[in-house]
């Protein structure tokens, strides 16, 4: 996963190139640092807190073979969806 830092020390992860019309634009995804999504949005995703600013404080989903994947709920224009962070 590529975690980048901004000048104000805000962490974000570049996860995808979003196609909007005929233009390609990068989409910054800021990892949540608190469990702030309602249950009907989370579905099978769950939040793990490992301390403020810790790299493993985030949402996860269980994957086959007893592993879990890192996910984040994002909004692009008028669409909301879960993305798997790399």
In whole angstroms, how far apart are CA 6 and each of 10, 19, 32, 48, 83?
5, 24, 16, 24, 21
Q: Supply the pLDDT for residue 1.
A: 39
Gap between the Cα atoms of 35 and 20, Å rounded: 29
| Residue 14, pLDDT score | 47
Q: What is the mean pLDDT of the chain?
A: 74
Parse the chain into domains and list their residue ranges. Answer: 3-84
Element containing residue 13 per DSSP (H, E): strand 11-20
Collapsing DSSP to helix, strand or coil, 25 comes out as: strand
Low-confidence residues of the chain: pLDDT under 70: 1-28
Quote the CA–CA distance of 11 and 4 in Å, as a whole number. Answer: 6
């Amino acid at each position: 996963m590529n975690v980048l830092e901004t000048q104000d020390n805000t962490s974000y992860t570049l996860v995808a190139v979003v196609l909007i019309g005929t233009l390609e634009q990068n989409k910054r995804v800021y990892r949540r640092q608190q469990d702030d999504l309602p249950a009907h949005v989370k579905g099978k995703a769950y939040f793990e807190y490992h301390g403020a600013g810790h790299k493993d404080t985030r949402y996860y989903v269980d994957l086959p073979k007893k592993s879990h994947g890192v996910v984040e709920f994002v909004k692009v224009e008028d669409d909301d969806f879960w993305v798997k962070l790399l």
